[in-house]
Chain A
Amino acid sequence: MKQISLVALIFIILLGGLFVYVAEDIPDFGDPNSAPNRYTPLFTLDAAGSVGALDQGVVPEALRTALEDRGFRDYELPTSVKKVTDGEWDGYLVPDEQYYKTAIAKFGTAPDAPKEQKYYFIKQEGDTLDVYRYAPIIRYVEEGEHETEVPNMVTYILADYRGYDTLGETTVIFTAGISVILLLRRRGKKPQ
């Protein structure tokens, strides 16, 4: 009995140490601008020669090759860059361009013009450029009301962007109802 409690104590200390180690990386709750909540770091680049191009709104060749080297496809490369503040830029691209083109070819009319979206975020740190990628939630928050004409953020994320998820939730509830019928209802012995 004594030995077991000693082992348990050691385990509690070990797990506590592990938790402290992991908890360092948890982002600040409620801070929408902290790095892990807003964007994911991808890689760093050498800043030499790229900053001028970025300031002019041109995608530098170094960034393009670096993305291609890491396996990004053609449609994932940024098409334009816009300056946010000094040393910070947004990389834009049209993620659904091909899909919109097929839709236009079939209907003749565009649902809406293909829209450029924020995709990459580039930040200058001394001699290097840090390249980040925006989290999808940033698009939902910033563009959702314009894209869906619904003012309620909870509803348009739940029913539109995460439509598959909600379909699954409805199926789960339906399954609960079926299970209750199968477990509790007895055929033939029903009242009335």
Chain B
Amino acid sequence: MTEKDWAHERDVIVETISRLMIPFIQLFALYVIIHGAGGPGGGFQGGVIIASSFVLYLVAFGLAAAGKRFPERANNYLMSTGVYIYAGVGLLCLIASLGAAQYLNYGFIPLTHMFEENRALGMDLVEIGIGITVGAVITEIFFNLVWKQDMDETEKEGQE
């Protein structure tokens, strides 16, 4: 990737504002994921918000810089990590209860001594898994679409 990025001109205002906003967007995403138990929010919404921060970074700084900050190699692992966390919490219920509980019956994970509290905490773990998967997938889709457009334009220029 050279400096002739697709329709990307370095703009001081956009870069400064997004540099200011991105940490707060990511903090808000974590808040939404963790707050899913107590109020509006949850893994899907928080994951999309965390993906939107990377989309903003890409829009402001271009594909090459965003690829360094959020490398696709890490993204591949993150996408499946979320599903593994979800399925793993389900399996943990079976293992921790020695087969007495059903799959995804969070109450039997021995985190606290209260059955109901365990259910609440198990739900939080699951929401974190959903958030990781959704954030990674949405980012991946956007990065790949931008990269595809980029490749098409360079091919067109080469033909001319």
Contacts and interface: CB of A to CB of B under 8 A. Distances in A.
Given A166-B130, A173-B137, A174-B137, A152 B40 contact: yes
A107 interface: yes
A9 interface: no
A174 B80 contact: yes
Contacts of B145: 180, 184
B151 A189 contact: yes
A177 B136 contact: yes
Nearest to B155: A189
Contacts of B97: 103, 106-107
Interface residues of B, number: 53
B136 A106 contact: no
Give the interface SS of chain A, mostly helix, strand, loop or mixed: helix
A176 B141 CA distance: 9
Given A149-B119, A180-B141, A191-B147, A170 B82 contact: yes
A159 interface: yes
B158 interface: no
Nearest to B113: A109
Interface of A: 102-103, 106-107, 111-112, 146-152, 154-156, 158-160, 163-164, 166-167, 170-171, 173-174, 176-178, 180-181, 184-186, 189-192
